[in-house]
Copies of this chain bind each other. A is one copy, B any other.
Amino acid sequence: MDHVNLKRLAKELNLAVSTVSRALSDSHDISIETKRKVINLAKELNYQPNPFARSLRKRSSKTIAIILPEIANNYFSLAINGIEEVAQDYDYHVLIYLTHENHAKEASIIRHLLNGRVDGVLMSLSIETEDITHLQELQENNIPIVFFDRICDSIDTVKITTNDYESGYLATSHLISKGCKNIAYLTFSGNLSIERQRMKGYQDALIQHNLVPNDHYIVRCNTNTKESHTKIKTLFSEENRPDGIFASVELLAILCYEVCAEMKINIPNDIKIIGFSNLRTASLLNPALTTITQPAFDMGKEAAKALFEALKKPQIPMENRNIVLRSTLIERVSTSNT
């Protein structure tokens, strides 16, 4: 037995296991002297408490899960950064799971977490998710969940979002101010609350500026990149093609660029694009792209903080609360590179 555990420490010090345990957890009724001895030996032998035994006993894992639709996208990368930073502060571990925008996978992942492997969940919904029984099961099992960005309205808990309606309004107004008359809205899903908000902002901005919302200009893409590519191409091939594009998702802005390049459409002369994108590099590398950028890092941090604070008070269920952070519109003025 070269494994160093409480038993081993106890034996070497001629103490009981329980005494050692209490000494290490700094219990009040252990003499200063024994504490010192125990702690010293523990350090010397590099004692590492077994996390599973501890979790088994205490019914707490010091672990949370992040469940994301995907990760190859700057928004979620930054969010993970924020979450991980806070988790290290609170001394928690972070498990990561990707749903690939697939409802079945999302449900399966969540059901696997009902066994207590994690103390809480941070999550952004998959595009496909409509049925939310798996989320309810989580709550029934008293595992708190916090949503960020892609929230679920019908679950009572903390939700971190940005001012999506306002951003949609601003983005659209920006295109209008640049002279666009026929503005298309590209979206993945009518399902997600954030997209509904953004679209509402888009529509209201049109109306406010005496333009007529035209359903024909609302293009619903999906996770199949090729199909989406084709849809955009079709849109751009039409008689009265749009002169402005509001892409509600980063990937769709990128697809627009691809299509424009293919079709030799000049940006921003022929078509102006504004993208709901967190791609720092997008705004850096191409002056033609105006972006709406979410504070992804801070959203991750806020979500994590809310969760950890809730975990401190295990009995109180999470109150329904919206935390709204602000997105930023970043307009790149032309540089020498245009």
Q: B residues within 8 A CB of A74? A: 72, 74
Which residues of A from 129 to 163 have beta carbons under 8 Å from B? none
A71 at interface by CB-CB < 8 Å: yes
- Which residues of A come within 8 Å of B, CB atoms? 46, 48-53, 55-56, 61, 63, 70-74, 76-78, 80-81, 84-85, 93-98, 112, 114-117, 254, 257-258, 260-261, 264-267, 279-282, 284-289, 335-337
Known pairs A77-B77, A116-B50, A336-B264; A284 contacts B95 (CB<8 A): no
Closest to A48 in B: B115
Q: How far is the CB of A192 from chain B (nearest CB, A)?
A: 21
Contact B279 A281 (CB under 8 A): yes
Contact B72 A261 (CB under 8 A): no
Give bound CA distance, A94 to B67, whole Å: 12
List of 6 A-B pairs having minimum Cβ-Cβ separation, nearest first: A48-B115, A261-B335, A285-B286, A52-B55, A52-B56, A264-B336
Contact B115 A93 (CB under 8 A): no
Give bound CA distance, A11 to B30, whole Å: 41
Closest to A61 in B: B52
Q: How far is the CB of A294 from chain B (nearest CB, A)?
A: 14
| 8 pairs of residues in contact across A and B, judged by CB atoms under 8 Å | A85-B98, A95-B96, A254-B284, A260-B337, A281-B281, A282-B285, A285-B286, A286-B286
Of A51, A85, A94, A288, most buried by chain B (CB within 10 Å of CB) is A51
